[in-house]
Structure 1
Amino acid sequence: MRFRRTSLLAVVALAATVVMVSPPASADPEPQLPSPESEINVTGEPFTGTTPDGSVQGVIDAHSHMFMQDGIGGAAVCGKAWSDDGIAEALKDCPAHGIAGETALLENLTRTGSPLGFHDTTGWPSFADWPAYDSLTHQQMYYRWVERSWRAGQRLLVVQLTSNKALCAINPGTNQSCDEMTAVRRQSRDAYDMQAFIDEQHGGEGRGWYRIVTDADQAREVIEDGKLAVVLGMETSEPFGCSQKLRLPSCTRANIDAGLDELKSLGVSSMFLCHKFDNALCGVRYDKGTTGLLINAGQFLTTGTFWTPRACDPDQPHDNNPRLVERPAELDWLPQPPIYPSGTVCNPHGLSALGEYALRGLIERGMMVEVDHMSAKAAGRALDILEEENYPGAIASHSWMDERYLDRLYGLGGFSTIYGHDTEEFLAEYERTAPVRDRHDAGIGFGFDMNGFGGTPGPAKTRVTYPFRSFDGGSLVDRQVTGQRIWDYNTDGVAHYGMIPDYLEDLRLTGGQGVIDDLARGTESYLRTWEGAQSAAR
C-alpha cells in the first residue's frame, strides 16, 4: 500500500512546530473532581500555540453525538455524558433493558440482528459488557473519556444534535417527546450545561477545557490556548418538521426561516438537510443490508412511502443499493418493501424547491452545509448551488457522500473526513482518496459517529504497546481505567471515546507517520472552510 511517509528528521521538525506557551502555574488550579471518577491515564501538558505559519495543529472529529441521552425519546442510548450526581449515576443502564438485557430491542438488533439477546446491565464500576465497540446503545462519550482524547491531541469536536422520530416510536422505554426539534433543543442545553459543569471543576466560568464556539475566530483562540473547541451541528430526518407525507411536504418557507434562526440562537453552526428518510427537503443516500431494511421500514411508517431506487449509470455518482437478498426471519414483522433492482441504483429524489430554499438560507447565515446523507442527485444539485454562490462551506463529515464528488467539494474549499472505520478500512479509504486531497492540499479528519449506531473499530491487529507517546510527542498515554475496568485497545478496540488516542497509535503503527501528519492538519483545514463560509455569507 502507498502511504506518504516522513523521515525521522521531518517527524521531529513537525513536533517542534507547535509553540508551547505554558501559563503560570497559578492560572490553572488543580481541578476539583468528584470522587469516585474515571481516570484519564495521560500525563503531560496539552500543547498550545500555533505552527510558525500561524496554523493550528490537532485532530478533529467532525461527527459524533455526545448527548444522545436526550435523543430518540431518552432511552436509545443508556447513560449520560456527565451527571451532577457522579459517575455511578451517569453510567448506568436503561431500566427498559430489563434485568439481563432481555428487553433491549435496539441493542440486540444493532448488535446481532435479532431482537433477542442478553447483556450484563451493571455498568459502573465493573462494566462487564459495555461500553464496547459493538454495543451501540450504551454511552460511549462520558466527559472524562472525551477529556482523555483532548489531552492526547484532539482539538476540535463537532457535536451533532440528533434524534429519529421513527426509532423513538418503536423503542421500549421511550420517556421523552419523539419530536426531533425538541430533542435538538434538549441536547443544545446539555452541551452548555456540561461546559458549565467542567468550568466549575476548573475554577469558574471560561476556565474549563471544553469550549463551545460559534465562529472560526473563537475556535482558533480556544485551540491556540490548548483547549477543545466544540462546534454544534444538527443531523435529523425532519429538520423544522420538514417531513413528507405521501410525497407532500409538511413545512413551509416560513418554518425553514424560523428554524434556521432558532438554530443560530442555539449556537448551531452546521446542519444536514436530510438524514435517514426522504423528507420535504431532499432524498437520501440509502443504507444497505439489515440496517437499510430497518430504516426503509421506518421511512414507510413515518411517511407512507418506501424508498424508490432506480437503476443508473455505475460510472456516475450513485447511491447505496438497499436490496436485501435474504430477510432475517426475526424481522418478518417489519413492513415488506418492494423488490428492488440489483446493481447500481440512484434515488430519483434530489433537492426539492424547499430544499434549495433551505440551502440558500444556510448560505445567507454563514452556516456550513453537510452533504453526507444526501442522495447523489441531491448532493450534485447542492454542489451546483454552492459553486454558483462561490460558497466554501461544504462538509462531508463521515464517508457518506459518493467519492466522485470529492474534487468538487475540495474545489469549493470544503472539508471531508473519513468515518472511524477499523484501521485497515480507514487506511484503504485514506489511500484511495489521497490523490484528490493532494491536489487541494487538504488535511483530513475523522467522523466517528460515536453514540450514533454506526459502530466503532474492534480490537487492533497491529499490537499497540503501552505506554506510548501522543501524536505530538508531548504526552504519555497508558491504558485507560474506569472503575474496575482496565481498557486495552488490543483486546477492546474503541470501546469508548477515550480510546481514540489508542486508535491513532494503531493508525501510526499500521499506516505510517504520513497519515498522522495529515490528521494533525485536519483542524486547520476545517477552520479554513468555516472562515470561507463566514466571509462569503451575504
Structure 2
Amino acid sequence: MRFSHPLRRAASVPPILALLGSLLTPVPAQAAAPARTTAPARTAALDAEVRGYIDAHTHLMSYEAFGGRLMCGKPFDPRGVREALRDCPDHAGNGVFAWWENFTRHGTPFGTHDPSGWPTFEDWPAWDSRTHQQAHHTWLERSWRAGQRVLVNHLVANRQLCEIYPLKRNTCDEMEVIRIQAKRMRELEAYIDGLSGGPGKGWFRIVRSSAEAREVIEKGRLAVVLGVEASEPFGCRIIAGDPQCTRQDIDRGLDEMKRLGVSSMFVCHKFDNALCGVRFDGGTTGAFVNTGNFLGTGRFWQVEKCTGQARDHTITPAGGLGDSLKDLLRLLGQAGVTLPLYPSPPHCNVHGLSDLGEHMVRGLMERNMIVEVDHMSAKAADRTLALLEAARYPGVISSHSWTDETYLPRIYRLGGMVAGYGNSADRFIAEWRRNKRLSDPGRPFGYGYGLDANGMGALPAPRANNTRPLRYPFTSPVDPSVTLDRQRTGVRTWDLNTDGVANYGLVPDWLADIHNLGGQEITTDLARGAETYLTMWHQTENHQTPP
C-alpha cells in the first residue's frame, strides 16, 4: 500500500488533512463488458510451466479498512453493480465535502467531482483518484481473461489513519479488520461462483498452497493468494519505546493467519512499530507521514547517517538547522525526545529489526510463509535478509518497489522475487531493465507488477510521451487467443491513451502498451511471472528451517 498525493499547494493544507493525504438492480451479466472469448488457455499438466502474469500486490477489500468510510465503492455487492459502484455518502451532491479525495487528487481539501458512479462514471474511477473503487470483479475478470494467472491480495489495516479519519462504521483494531476482509474475500469467491453456475465453478479461486494454485491455473482460473499488510500486526504497536505485544502474541497471531489462509506478510508498514523501523516516505509526503508516526508512537522518525550503500528516503526538512543541531538531536533522541528536524542526507532510520521483529521473521520461516521486505527500513531489511540467508530461505519478495535496490541481488540469490510498482509503461520498463540487471543469472527470471489497486496510490498514468499510442482492438501479448477492444462499463468507455489505468480492467491495455514500447523480452518475463512466484512459493513450503 502506498499513500501518495500531488504536492501542489500542499503547504497550505492543515497538517491533520495532510497526514491523511500521505496516506437495487441485479448485476448485469456483462457489467464491465469483459473480453468474451473461449476460456483462457489451460496448462497441459500440473508440472508444466505456467504461462501468465502476476499482480503481487493489490487490495480488493481495503474499503473495509480505515474505519470503513474512507474508500468508496466495493469490488462486489449482492444487490448488483449499482450498489457496488456507489460513491461515499459524504461525496453526495457535487463532492464538495469529499475533502480527502480532493486533497489526494488535487492537493487541496477544496474541490468538486461528479459522484454519480454507475452507469456514467463521469469522474471516477480514474488513475489519480485514491478514494474510489478500482477493482470491481468484472474489471478484474477482464485482466484474468487476458492472461493474469495469480493475484496476491493483501488484507490491509492502519489503526492510526482509522483513528484520525472522523467517519467510521468499522473498528480500528487492525487484526479484526483483517478478519473482516478475509471473510469478504470468501464472500466474493462464493458470489462469483453463483454467477458462474454454482459452488466451485467460478474463475476466482482463493488458494492456500502452490500446488493448489497450479491446479486452479491448470483449470484456466485465477489463483488468489492472501497476504497481510498491517502497520501493527498482532497489536505490535510501540509507544515511547515500549512494545505493546509479546512473543506469545506474535505466535498466536501467526497461527491464526495460517488458519485464515494467509501465505505472505509484511512486518511493518508506514509507521515504526514494535517489530521494525520503516523505510521513510520521502519529501513532503514523508513530513506528513512523520506526523502520523508521532501521533501513533509518541516519537518522530529518528535518523542516522547511512553507513552502507542502502538508504531510506530523505525526510523533509533536512540540512540547515538540522545540520547545526545534529549532535543535540542525537542526544535528545537517545533520551526519547524527538523533533522533526534532520541533518543533510543520506538518511537511514535508526530503528532496524527488533528482537520481537526477529521472532516474527523466524516465525514466518517456521510456518513456511513468504516474507515481504518492502516498507522495512534499510537497517531492518538488511537484518531480515541476513536471517533468511543464514537459513537459505527462499520465501522473500519485494512486491511493489519499496525497498532499496541494493537489496535486490540478495533477494534474487535466495530464490525470491521482485515485482515493480504499477507506473506508466515507460517508467515500468526502465525499472524492469534495472532489476533484471541485478537478478541472479543462475536462476530463471520472471517479473511481475504490484498495481497496489485500492492502496491509495496512483495507478499507471497516461504516458506523457504518447507518440506511439495503443491501437484498438489489440491482441493480448500474453494470451494471443484473446482480443480486446476499449473497456466499457455502463455507458462509459475508457481508452488507455487518454485515461491511463483508470481501473483494473485496463491492466491488459497497459501490458499491451508495455509490449509495444519494450518489446518481446519484457512480455516474456511478465508471462513467466506467475511461474516464478509459484516456484518460489513451492520451495518455501518445502524448506526445512533449522531448529
Task: State TM-score, norm by structure 1.
Answer: 0.89
What does the per-residue CA deviation read over 1:506-534, in whole Å, with 9 as the maximum and x for residues that have no partner? 10111111101000001111111111111
Q: 1:512 aligns with which of 499, 508, 519?
A: 519
Residue 498, structure 1, aligned to residue 505, structure 2: yes
Aligned position for 2:313: 320
Aligned equivalents of 2:247, 2:374: Cα separation in 1 = 23
Partner of 2:292: 298
Residue-by-residue CA offset, 1:91-139 (whole Å, 9 max, x unaligned): 0111123422222232122112222221111111111110000001000
Determine the C-alpha separation between the residues in 2 that align with 1:300 and 1:258. Answer: 28
Aligned counterpart in structure 1 of residue 489 of structure 2, from 474, 482, 494: 482
One-letter code of the match for 2:313? N
- Residue 349 of structure 1 is matched in structure 2 by 351
State the secondary structure of the residue aligned to 1:463.
coil
Q: For the residues of structure 1 that align with 2:65 and 2:47, how far apart are their CA atoms? A: 41
Note the 1:264-275 alignment, pairs <5 A. 264-275=258-269
Residue deviations 1:19-63 (CA, integer Å, cap 9, x gap): xxxxxxxxxxxxx96467222135343111148982111000000
8 Å CA contact retained: 1:152, 1:501: yes
- Give 1:380's aligned amino acid: D
- Partner SS state of residue 67, structure 2: helix
Does the CA contact (< 8 Å) of 2:27 and 2:80 recur in 1? no
Distance 1:178 1:279 in 2: 16
1:467 aligns with 2:473: yes
Q: Tell me, in whole angstroms, the C-alpha distance in 2 between the residues paired with 1:371 and 1:381.
A: 11
> What pairs with 1:98-247 in structure 2 (closer than 5 Å)?
98-247=92-241
**Which residue in 1 is equivalent to 2:534?**
527
Task: Tell me the distance in 1 between the aligned counterparts of 2:194 and 2:29.
Answer: 15
Distance across 1 between alignment mates of 2:40 and 2:364: 35
Range with bigger deviation, 52-61 or 461-470: 52-61
Q: Contact between 2:318 and 2:344, CA under 8 Å: does it hold in 1?
A: no
SS at match of 1:418: strand
Partner of 1:18: none
What amino acid is the match of 1:40?
P
Is residue 48 from structure 1 mapped to residue 46 from structure 2 by the alignment?
A: no
- The residue that corresponds to 2:364 in the other structure is 362
Cα 1:55–1:36 change in 2 (3 A) is: closer
After TM superposition, give the deviation of residue 311 of structure 1 in Å. Answer: 2.3
Which one of the candidate residues 54, 61, 65 is aligned to 1:60? 54
Cα separation, partners in 2 of 1:296 and 1:489, compared to 1, 3 Å? same
Q: Which amino acid aligns with 1:468?
A: F
In 2, Cα distance between equivalents of 1:310 and 1:105? 36
Task: Say which SS state the counterpart of residue 146 (structure 1) adopts.
Answer: helix
**Aligned residue type for 1:73:** G
Report the aligned-residue RMSD: 1.8
Q: Which amino acid aligns with 2:121?
A: F
Structure-1 separation of matches of 2:144 and 2:29: 21
Q: Using a 3 Å threshold, how does the CA distance of structure 1 residues 200 and 98 change in structure 2: closer, same or farther?
A: closer
Partners of 1:520 and 1:36 in 2: CA distance: 27
Letter in 2 for 1:238: E
In the alignment, structure 1 residue 417 sits paired with structure 2 residue 419:
yes
Preserved contact between residue 96 and residue 173 of structure 1 (Cα < 8 Å): no
Q: How many angstroms does 1:325 deviate by?
A: 7.3
Given that 2:318 and 2:341 are in contact with CA atoms closer than 8 Å, whether structure 1 keeps it comes out as no
Residue type of the alignment partner of 2:82: A
Q: Residue in 1 aligned with 2:445?
A: 442
Corresponding residue of 2:401: 399
Q: What code does the residue aligned with 1:357 have?
A: H
Alignment of 1:244-255 (within 5 A): 244-255=238-249
Residue 449 of structure 2 aligns to a residue whose secondary structure is: strand
Letter in 1 for 2:250: I
Report what 1:388 is aligned to: 390
Segment of structure 1 superposing worse, 493-502 or 418-427: 418-427
Aligned ranges 1:425-436 → 2 under 5 Å = 425-436=427-438
Report how far residue 290 of structure 1 moved: 3.0
The Cα shift of 1:446 comes to 0.4
Alpha-carbon shift at residue 300 of structure 1 (Å): 0.9
* Residue 76 (structure 1) shift: 1.7
Matches of 1:412 and 1:62, distance apart in 2: 18
* 1:188 counterpart letter in structure 2: A
Q: Which residue is 2:66 aligned to?
A: 72
State the secondary structure of the residue aligned to 2:430.
helix
Task: Measure, in 1, the Cα distance between the counterparts of 2:188 and 2:75.
Answer: 8
Q: Helix, strand or coil: the match of 2:542? A: helix
Query: Could you tell me whether the CA contact under 8 Å between 2:278 and 2:377 is conserved in 1?
Result: yes
> What count of residue pairs does the alignment treat as equivalent?
497
Of the three residues 66, 86, 93, the one matched with 2:87 is 93
Distance, in Å, in 1 between the alignment partners of 2:27 and 2:115 is 26
1:333-360 CA deviation, whole Å, 9 max, x = no partner? xxx9612223211111000000000111
CA pair 150-402 structure 1, distance change in 2 beyond 3 A: same
